[in-house]
């Protein structure tokens, strides 16, 4: 028995040593990966706004016929698009997840479709995508100080803001807009710094988002908008509902942030262009607004107020507005959920914007 016990202890010790060496090797490999691919040593520290960088990933859209694979990339500056150097960028498109388009391939986002259509019109331009999931105008305002200002040579002629939807929920979006320089104890700042600069966390974040999207069937590419819209509201009823509904909180602050964005763009010597947004779970049938539910109708009414503020700011400043919310006509298959467009919807948005912006770009 003593001999057997001794052998058992030696065996356990050997296993512990092997596990220890393997764990140590794994940690060493992870550290090397972080140092090479992470942003710990970056001079720009562009991760201050949770902006993914140096990302190249392929998504399989399981719920789309044929299960197509889309390629999503972001470069070292966190931008999505083709350009030789940042100083070549002429148009910077800013927005949240509806601009980022995580599950739409690089060449099929509305930003790239707009670029392609302008090129076909004889207006070749360098246009890049600076959309970040979750960002509202809070994050867009901060981006000028802690992101765009740290991209060497970046000086676009136009900055297009595709905004509105996230600002409806701005109270719940703040955590996506925070920077590491904001208030919080040391532990919170360290955690935020890790989330900002860790390549492993960025991979985890993308995979987690993909799994969550799959679980709730919110994959950009499904035909979620082809459902029936049973709830309807006439223009008169809509006006009455708007007049009697509670005014959304934060509209004055939203207005102030738009003015701040105009000022920051003008400091670049550029022109700000605001594009209003529409939800995918509502649809116009003539003058009648139809929705998937009462909640969808109410949410669109709130978004209408947001859009009205945007248009009023354009009227009082040198900024330009494209009222996509009122002018575009979406079709079945354009949305994968209540706000995100499919490849088909992105093509519609990009084509629409190219037609609207071409005269502006030609005139300058």
pLDDT per position as a tens digit, 34-77: 666 556 555 545 545 568 888 888 878 777 777 888 899 999 99
Beta bridge partners of 91: 127, 158
Question: Greater confidence, 305 or 39?
Answer: 305
Q: Spell out the domain ranges in the chain.
A: 1-37, 46-362
% of the chain with per-residue pLDDT over 70:
75
* Sole residue written with tokens 């532990």: 187
* Sole residue written with tokens 């052998």: 7
Please report the beta strands in the chain, taking only residues with DSSP state E, as ranges in sequence order: 55-60, 69-74, 91-95, 127-131, 158-162, 231-233, 271-275, 282-285, 288-291, 320-322
Cβ neighbours around 123 below 10 Å, total: 14
Choose which CATH entry (3.40.50.300, 3.40.50.1110, 3.30.1160.10, 3.10.129.10) describes domain 46-362. Answer: 3.40.50.1110
The whole-model pTM stands at 0.76
User: Residue 221 pLDDT more than 70?
Assistant: no
Lowest-confidence region among 22-36, 137-151, 164-178, 196-210: 196-210
Is residue 132 within 8 A of residue 139, CB to CB? The reply is yes
What is residue 185's predicted lDDT score, i.e. its pLDDT? 59
């Amino acid at each position: 028995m003593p001999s057997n016990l001794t052998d058992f202890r030696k065996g356990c010790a050997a296993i512990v040593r092997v596990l220890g060496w393997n764990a140590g090797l794994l940690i060493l490999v992870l550290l090397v990966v972080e140092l090479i691919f992470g942003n710990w040593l970056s001079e720009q520290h562009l991760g201050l706004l949770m902006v993914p960088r140096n990302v190249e990933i392929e998504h399989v859209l399981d719920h789309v016929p044929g299960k197509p694979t889309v390629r999503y990339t972001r470069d070292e500056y966190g931008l999505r698009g083709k350009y030789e150097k940042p100083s070549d960028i002429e148009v910077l498109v800013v927005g949240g997840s509806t601009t980022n388009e995580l599950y739409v391939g690089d060449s099929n986002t509305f930003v790239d479709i707009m670029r392609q259509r302008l090129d076909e019109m004889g207006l070749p331009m360098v246009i890049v995508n600076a959309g970040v999931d979750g960002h509202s105008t809070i994050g867009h305002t901060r981006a000028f100080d802690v992101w765009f200002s740290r991209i060497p040579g970046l000086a676009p002629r136009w900055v297009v803001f595709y905004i509105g939807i996230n600002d409806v929920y701005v109270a719940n979006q703040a955590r996506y807009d925070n920077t590491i320089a904001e208030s919080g104890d040391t532990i919170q700042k360290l955690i935020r710094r890790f989330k900002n600069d860790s390549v492993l966390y960025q991979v985890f974040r993308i995979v987690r988002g993909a799994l969550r999207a799959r679980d709730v069937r919110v994959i950009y590419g499904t035909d979620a908008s082809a459902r029936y819209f049973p709830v309807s509201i006439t223009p008169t009823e809509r006006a009455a509902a708007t007049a009697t509904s509670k005014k959304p909180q934060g509209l004055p602050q939203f207005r102030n942030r738009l003015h701040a964005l105009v000022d920051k763009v003008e400091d670049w010597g550029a022109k700000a262009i605001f594009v209003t947004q529409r939800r995918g779970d509502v649809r116009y049938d003539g003058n009648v607004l139809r929705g998937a539910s009462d909640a969808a109708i109410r949410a669109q009414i709130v978004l209408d107020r947001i859009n009205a503020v945007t248009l009023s700011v354009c009227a009082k400043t040198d900024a330009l507005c494209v009222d996509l919310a009122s002018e575009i006509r979406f079709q079945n298959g354009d949305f994968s959920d209540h706000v995100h467009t499919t490849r088909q919807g992105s093509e519609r948005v990009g084509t629409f914007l190219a037609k609207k912006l071409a005269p502006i770009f030609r005139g300058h």
